[in-house]
Amino acid sequence: MSRNTELQNTFTLPALALRGLVMFPGMLLQFDVGRKKSVEALESAMQSDQLIFLVAQKNLGDNDPDGSQIYKTGVVAKIRQIIRRSDEGIRLFAEGLYRAEVISVAKTEPYLLTELCRVETAPYRKTTRSEALIRYTQSLFEEYIQNYSHIPPDIVIGVIQKKDCGELADYIAANLSLDYTEKQKILEELNPVRRLQKLSMVLKKEIQILALEAKISQRAKEQIDENQKEYFLREQMRAISEELGENDSPQQDADDLKARIKKAKLPPLQEEKLLKECDRLMKMPEGSHEASVIESYIDTCLELPWNKSTKDRINLKRAKRILDRDHYGLTKVKERILEVLAVRKLSPDISGQIICLVGPPGVGKTSIAHSIAEALGRKYVRVSLGGVRDESDIVGHRRTYIGSMPGRIIAALKQAGTNNPLILLDEIDKMGSNFRGDPSSALLEVLDPDQNKSFYDHYIDMPFDLSNVMFLTTANDASEIPEPLYDRMDVITLGSYTHEEKYHIAAEHLIPKQLKKHGITPKMLKITPAAIHKLIDAYTREAGVRNLERQIAAICRKCAKVFVEDKNAKITVTPEKLRELLGPEKYKDETANKHDMVGLVNGLAWTSVGGMMLPIEVAVMDGTGKIELTGSLGDVMKESAKTAISCIRTRASALGISHDFYTKYDIHIHAPEGAVPKDGPSAGTAMATAITSALCNIPIRHDVAMTGEITLLGRVLPIGGLKEKSMAAYRNGIKTVIIPADNEPDLEEIDSVVKDHVHFEPVERIDQVLKIALTRVPTPMCSEKEAEPRTVPTVPKVPVQTPEHKPTEQSSVIPQ
């Protein structure tokens, strides 16, 4: 029968839309019916011939499908049984009879009534090809049921018995758990061979999916079994520990640490290493010393700021305001710091700017570092390197040692809590070295921008990136810094404070600070400007302001006692009252009391605490030509003294000195403050001048100071530390400073206040020095006969400076 002939035999039947189900001819299907339209269709079918059209709906989410929402092809089924349930639902048991196609939908209310025509399977000729297709499909079915074991045996037998392509395709499709869209495609195919081909393709695809699902399931099962086994064993160990009263077992600690490691989101290398340490910890027996070491190590590593950082807030106006608020003067230093911040503003990723602040104590190096950190908005940590002699203090101790700990750099990062703080390495020139190692060499890696990206601390034993850290260092003596370390730093020099700067610092910073510290209000205690000037001149003489602050604190303590006894008391500190509060003056006005003297010259020296005056005395006595050198002079300074004597001998006649004075007189050269070691070549001109003065009996001007190295031929060579030496001359009231001509370019670095009060005389030869320093020019000697016997002058007693003015016995005065 042709399809057109079939279409002429139409009939109407109530339709029941199936959701996710497809009915096949010869199939027995049992399902629940709950929708109102479906129940009405069943009622109508039961009242007639119990035939109903079962067809799948296209959209599973549609609760009320109309004619356009159902497929065209379905199955006419015979209702075998209806079971009504208490929840107003119906359980239907139906048997598929034959395929039918929807011609039209007669009505949609109260149920779907469809006009249908029966469609038959097209006949086909059985060939070897169709037989092979049947066998292939049956083999695929066998392979399918190997992966899907929920197939009843009678269905397997039914598949084996089917020898028709169409029936086999319908039977397998009806009894397999396939997608309803795939089943619908098989149902709509009327050619038996093509229908079986479509089924075989679907089976092949399902077999591949089932094989993959089985593989995934097996893998998941193995993993779950392993996890369950581990969990079970851990729970057993935990239960045993609880029974023994050992709740804090290494296994429990390891679990807690593992959770913390995963939560910290560390870099991959660090996370992997710490997880391995946790695995080691889990295997440790209870009470093991090694377990506590591992636990402490992991805790330390987790406390480091691997991923935590602060954002720079660079504002030059704000930075200038902070620097001016915290420090008076230091104009060039502030300008240099603002330049560094400006560069960092333009290039945030710049690295390698290691700033070294060099200057005497008390000039504000540490506080400047704190101000820079505040201006940048970074955390500030200070690391003191004074006295460090073990390189393990820098790079840490290995964990194999008892009591090992990280180095000071890692400890500073841990303290800061961020990976980009400002770390101040204080007193970098005070490090030493011994048999334990050289800490300055360990700092090379820290301060090298090409190496500190992967800094290895011996304790942490993992690379830590220090490239984001801003390092600042401080030093009193730049010459004490090892050359490789010095080469890595950008040096900013802080000079001594002038009298005017000290006055403003005291009035604007130190006095308010100490009043607040001692609980005194400005109304209770007032220090007059004249008293401040007197305090600076008569009670302190230093490069910085620390002693000045101590004296102000002493005044506050003295007055605090009065305020406790009399709450209404008010004190005004005047220059006259300073003697009552602080005792007699420690330093007298050098300009008022000093006189021109024979054999006494004002030398200038550089020390780690700033420049200072270095008086040199020469006494000439009858003797046999001995030379005495006293005052803790170093080898270089002793050589300078001998060179000065030889230089004078070469021009004895021109200076009016007997040519054989070195056989008739003993010469004693002494540098006061003999307990303080002194060394360096820059006192050569001063020694030559003092020797000439003593031999010629000509006084030396008291308002002249000098510095410079001398040669045998009388040349004056350049020296170092001119800025500090000139400041010392200014503090001591010196009017003229003699300097080597080659040091004339260094005058650009001298403070303007010093230039205004001190006159500098550049010289090239000793003859120029003598002409300026001596009160009169020596008279040349015409001949030996005209030379008169020389009387040895009496050297007046030199005022001894108080101990507060000299540095400690361990420091060295280096005239350079």
The string of DSSP codes covering 790-806 is PPPPPPPPPPPPPGGGS
Contact 689, 769 (CB under 8 A): yes
Contact 203, 179 (CB under 8 A): no
DSSP symbols for 527-544: E-HHHHHHIIIII---SS
pLDDT at 675: 74
Whether 680 has a pLDDT exceeding 70, the answer reads yes
Whether 1 has a pLDDT exceeding 60, the answer reads no
pLDDT at 691: 93
- The one catalytic residue among 658, 682, 693, 726: 682
Question: Hey, is 235 helix, strand or coil?
Answer: helix
Q: Give the tens place of pLDDT for each residue, 211-252.
A: 887 788 777 777 777 777 777 776 777 677 667 665 555 566
Q: Give the tens place of pLDDT for each residue, 786-808.
A: 444 444 444 444 333 333 333 33
Whether 333 has a pLDDT exceeding 50, the answer reads yes
Residue 588 corresponds to which amino acid? K
What is the pLDDT averaged over residues 29-49?
84
Measured between alpha carbons, how far is 589 from 617 in angstroms, rounded to an integer? 21
Measured between alpha carbons, how far is 96 from 73 in angstroms, rounded to an integer? 13
Measured between alpha carbons, how far is 686 from 766 in angstroms, rounded to an integer? 10
Whole-number Cα distances in Å, 211 to 208, 214, 218, 381: 5, 5, 10, 62
Question: Hey, is 75 helix, strand or coil?
Answer: strand
What is the pLDDT averaged over residues 533-561?
88
Whether 4 has a pLDDT exceeding 50, the answer reads no
Buried (b) or exposed (e) across 412-449, using 16+ Cβ within 10 A?
A: bbeebebbbbbbbbbbbbbbeeeeebbbbebbbbbbbe
Active site residue 682: yes
What is the pLDDT averaged over residues 592-604?
81
Question: Hey, is 423 helix, strand or coil?
Answer: strand
Tokens read off for 53: 């059209």
> 593 falls in which pLDDT band (50, 70, 90)?
very low
Cis peptide before 110, with omega less than 30 degrees from 0?
yes
Q: Where would I find the H helices in 358-470? A: 365-376, 392-395, 408-416, 439-446
Neighbours of 275 (CB within 10 A): 16
Residue 208 corresponds to which amino acid? Q
- Report which of 511, 510, 504, 509 is spatially closest to residue 525, judged by C-alpha positions: 511
> 512 falls in which pLDDT band (50, 70, 90)?
very high
Residue 430 corresponds to which amino acid? K
- Report which of 2, 26, 3 is spatially closest to residue 169, judged by C-alpha positions: 26
The values of phi and psi at residue 247, to 5°, are -75, -35
Contact 304, 407 (CB under 8 A): no
Measured between alpha carbons, how far is 425 from 384 in angstroms, rounded to an integer? 6
Measured between alpha carbons, how far is 345 from 317 in angstroms, rounded to an integer? 13
Contact 52, 94 (CB under 8 A): yes
- The one catalytic residue among 37, 371, 725, 726: 725
Contact 599, 795 (CB under 8 A): yes
Measured between alpha carbons, how far is 401 from 405 in angstroms, rounded to an integer? 9
Chain centre to alpha carbon of residue 577: 52
Average the pLDDT over each of 143-147, 168-172, 602-606, 758-762 and give the range with the smallest value: 143-147
What is the pLDDT averaged over residues 183-211?
84
**What is the pLDDT of the chain when averaged over all its residues?**
82
Neighbours of 153 (CB within 10 A): 7
Measured between alpha carbons, how far is 351 from 142 in angstroms, rounded to an integer? 71
Angle ∠(772,774,778) on CA atoms, nearest 5? 110
Active site residue 414: no
Contacts 24+ apart (CB under 8 A), 128-134: 130/165, 130/193, 133/165, 133/193, 133/196, 133/197, 133/200, 134/162, 134/163, 134/165, 134/168, 134/196
More confident residue, 525 or 293: 525
Residue 147 corresponds to which amino acid? N
pLDDT at 589: 58
Contact 730, 757 (CB under 8 A): yes
pLDDT at 795: 41
Whole-number Cα distances in Å, 753 to 323, 497, 594, 726, 758: 21, 10, 23, 11, 9
- Report which of 626, 614, 642 is spatially closest to residue 712, judged by C-alpha positions: 642
Neighbours of 790 (CB within 10 A): 17
90-107 vs 73-84, strand pairing mode? antiparallel
DSSP symbols for 10-55: EEEEEEEEESS----TT-EEEEEE-SHHHHHHHHHHHHTTSEEEEE
For the chain, how many helices (H) and strands (E)?
A: 29, 24
- DSSP, res 473: E
Measured between alpha carbons, how far is 639 from 645 in angstroms, rounded to an integer? 10
Instruction: Please indicate, yes or no, whether the overall pTM of this predicted structure exceeds 0.95.
Output: no
What is the pLDDT averaged over residues 146-171?
76
**Any residues with CB less than 8 A from the CB of 27 and at least 6 apart, and which?**
75, 95, 96, 170, 174
**Any residues with CB less than 8 A from the CB of 161 and at least 6 apart, and which?**
none
Whole-number Cα distances in Å, 431 to 353, 378, 440, 692: 21, 27, 7, 42
The values of phi and psi at residue 709, to 5°, are -90, 140
**Cα torsion for 12, 16, 20, 25, to the nearest 10°?**
-50
Q: Give the tens place of pLDDT for each residue, 143-158.
A: 777 766 577 777 778 7
Contacts 24+ apart (CB under 8 A), 652-655: 652/781, 653/780, 653/781, 654/778, 654/780, 655/692, 655/695, 655/696, 655/770, 655/778, 655/780
More confident residue, 800 or 129: 129
* Report for 78-92, 462-476, 550-564: range of highest mean pLDDT: 550-564
Average the pLDDT over each of 198-202, 592-596, 771-775 and give the range with the smallest value: 592-596
Measured between alpha carbons, how far is 44 from 50 in angstroms, rounded to an integer? 8
What is the pLDDT averaged over residues 594-608?
85
What is the pLDDT averaged over residues 451-468?
85
- Report which of 257, 181, 129, 143 is spatially closest to residue 22, judged by C-alpha positions: 181
Whether 763 has a pLDDT exceeding 90, the answer reads yes
Whether 536 has a pLDDT exceeding 60, the answer reads yes
Domains of the chain are 3-118 (2.30.130.40), 248-302 (no CATH), 316-493 (3.40.50.300), 499-582 (1.10.8.60), 594-805 (3.30.230.10)
More confident residue, 153 or 462: 462
Q: Give the tens place of pLDDT for each residue, 367-383.
A: 888 888 888 888 899 98
What is the pLDDT averaged over residues 417-436?
83
Q: Give the tens place of pLDDT for each residue, 620-664.
A: 998 888 889 998 888 999 999 999 999 999 988 888 888 888 888
Measured between alpha carbons, how far is 557 from 538 in angstroms, rounded to an integer? 20
Neighbours of 666 (CB within 10 A): 16
Q: Identify the residue whose tokens are 């690295």.
A: 351
What is the pLDDT averaged over residues 462-470?
86
- DSSP, res 764: S
Q: Identify the residue whose tokens are 């397997």.
A: 156
> 257 falls in which pLDDT band (50, 70, 90)?
confident
pLDDT at 244: 67
Tokens read off for 223: 């993993």
